[in-house]
Amino acid sequence: MPAALQVTLDFLEDIRFNNNRIWFQDNRKRYDAAQANFNQLIEAIMQQFGEVEDLGRTTVKECVYRINRDVRFSKDKTPYKFHMGAVIGNGGRKSTGRSYYIQIQPGESMVAGGVYMPEAEQLKRIRAATASDNGKRLRAIINHADFKRYFGAMQGEQLKSAPKGYSSDHAAIDLLRHKQFLAMHMMNDADVLSDDLVTHVVAVCKALKPFEAYFNDILNGS
């Protein structure tokens, strides 16, 4: 798989600097090979994912994102992403439960999870649940050795002051200021090309599961 993923990395590096439809069509065979290699990676991860989650009958196709960008509401009209991504979970991209994001991008590959863009009501529920125990459950998760090993700390955009309805001296104010709740494990190209990439990704996802479970319990009640 390392040699195959080098093909994928090379294509993604090139499309970053040649992000137009003419170049893409001229290099369609390269894209097809790059995408096939990425799909094989996701399939290999899914085959070992029983250690993390029951994926049911979820297929690779249901997990993998298209390379085409949605440019309808963006000032950036470049047509293609220069990464390949997938959401692994029961239901793939449409999963409403615990799910895990895998991205391959030259120099910026990652395994990630959490709550990226919560709606106002979702953010309200997360803050209320976190405040109810002074952040003890969430803090235990993000302070766990496995979480720290792979993710370091919880990341995401934060308010500069206390959110409305909460005191600035609340015991969990550092958690309540968050507007995003993200865990991100970055990988360099050497990591991606390693023989143990699949095993490594599965191990990272296992460490991510309690973090995913915390927010899933709050937002989905299961």
Q: What is the pLDDT of residues 120-139, one digit of tens each?
A: 999 999 999 999 999 999 99
pLDDT score recorded for residue 131: 97
**pLDDT, tens digit, 9 for 90 and up, residues 63-119:** 999 999 998 888 889 999 999 999 999 999 999 899 999 999 999 999 999 999 999
pLDDT of residue 74: 84
Sort residue 156 into left (φ over 0), alpha (ψ -120 to 50) or beta.
left
Q: What is the Rg, in whole angstroms, of the alpha carbon atoms belonging to the chain? A: 19
Phi-psi region of 59 (alpha: psi -120 to 50; beta: other; left: phi over 0): beta
Q: What is the pLDDT of residues 187-203, one digit of tens each?
A: 999 999 999 999 999 99
Q: What is the mean pLDDT of residues 176-183?
A: 98
39/36 Cα distance (integer angstroms):
5
**Mean pLDDT, the chain, as a whole number?**
96
pLDDT over 70 at 162, yes or no: yes
All domains of the chain in start order, with CATH: 2-220 (3.30.930)
Nearest to residue 174, comparing CAs of 187, 157, 156, 162?
162
* Beta strands per DSSP E along 69-218: 84-89, 99-104, 109-115, 181-187
Query: Looking at residue 210, what is its pLDDT?
Result: 98
E runs forming strands in 36-148: 84-89, 99-104, 109-115
